[in-house]
Amino acid sequence: MKRKIKNVAARLRAAGAMGTAAFLMLANSTTAYASGISQSKLARGTEKLIGDATTWLMVLAPVVAGLLIIYFCIRRSAADEMDQKKWNNRIVAAIVSCIGAVLGSA
C-alpha cells in the first residue's frame, strides 16, 4: 500500500513539473515576424499553390471515393458472409475518408 502511494506521489510530482515547465515555456515565448515577406513572389506563389491544391482535393476526393465504393460493392457482392463484413467496413471507411478530405480541404 505504501509503495502504491509513493508511486502515485512520484507521478503527481512529475506531472506537476512537466506542467510548470510547459507553462513557463509558453509564457516566455516571443514571436518573430519577417517584414515584407507577405509581398514576396515566393509567399504569393505558395498561397496560390495551396489554394489550387485544396480546390483539386475537393474535386478529386469524392470522385476517387465514388470509384472505390463502386469497386468495394462489386467485391462485396462476390464475397461470402465473413468477407462481406470486411467489405462493408471498407465502404464505410471510404465514405468517412471522403468526408474528412473534403472538410479538411475546405
Confidence of residue 93 (pLDDT cuts 50, 70, 90): very high
Average pLDDT for 30-47:
74
> What is the torsion angle, in degrees rounded to the nearest 10, for the CA atoms of residue 68, residue 72, residue 73 and residue 77?
160
- pTM of the predicted model as reported, rounded to 2 decimal places: 0.55
> Which has the higher per-residue pLDDT, 12 or 4?
12
Instruction: Give CA–CA dist 12/5, Å, rounded.
Output: 10
5-19, 29-43, 66-80: segment of lowest average pLDDT: 29-43
